[in-house]
Structure 1
Amino acid sequence: MIKVDLSLLWTIINLVVFYLLLKKFLFKPVMGIMEKREQMIADGLKNASDRQEEAETLKKEYESALSGAKEESVKIVENARVEAKRQSDEILADADRRADATIERARKTIETERKQALDGVETQIAGLAMQAARKIVDEETRKQGNQAIYDQFLESVGDAHDGKDE
């Protein structure tokens, strides 16, 4: 016989509540999104199918119109080639301009970041030098017992460091 205790009952209740919450707040919205997405894909496929049918119809019309006029078709094809070449040249020129602009922006960004990095390194080096000098002077003043030398050094180094930051 299965022993039913209070914790098993609470676990079952929790699972049922959890399932109902998932069903309401997760399954329904996700299914709604999936149905919308499915409808959007179906519409896209239908539009593509319609456009393909239109293209087939236009192709047949053009073939019938061009079959009787070889000279005219040669002119049309030649004009289309010239236009395609012109558009291709325009697209390539525009792409070159954009690429050059992007490269120039990247170079400027790199240069700016390099300068910032160098400035940061210089600041860190100055700080480390100040700490090292402070430790050396501190040891010397302890040995000599001369607090005035220490204070004078800190003032002169502090003034020099403040002048570099500006």
Structure 2
Amino acid sequence: MHFELTSFIFAIVSFAILMWLISKYAFGPLMGIMEQRRQLVLDQMNSAEQNRKQADSLLAEQKAALEQVRSEAKQIMEQARVTSGKQAEDIIAQAKAEAGRLKEEALRDIENEKNLAVAALRSQVSAMSVLIASKIIEKQIDEKSQEQLVEHYLKEVGGNQ
């Protein structure tokens, strides 16, 4: 193989020019695109990390809010139970008071009716006594017939009731 210096120098100069052209027009833009891609991937990774942190904080906030809502719901349920118990006690107390009032009113009515009945009975007994006395005076009868007459009128009074 024969080695020529001019061909060798021409090959090296051609190679150097080719390398310079490739690095200027191919490797430069390719490296710029690769750098942009690397930066884009880094930005996306940073953004994803920030989004994950934000999602974690939102999740924590939602858990806290959910726990607070549960606590408030439990408190409302307890308050409703206490309120309903108190209302039930109030209704029972009112019913007992009304029953007591009605009982007292009924007892007063019974007492009034009893007094009216006693008064009517006394009126009838007095009328009967007057009637018996007038009959006794009219007949002027002996003691035995007088007793029979009183018993007879008392039986009539007893039978009318």
Give TM class, smaller chain: 0.3 to 0.5
Q: Please identify the structure whose Cα radius of gyration is greater.
A: 2
What TM-score results when the alignment is normalised by the length of structure 2?
A: 0.48
Higher relative CO (Cα under 8 Å, sequence separation at least 6) belongs to 2
**With structure 1 as the length reference, what TM-score do the two structures score?**
0.46
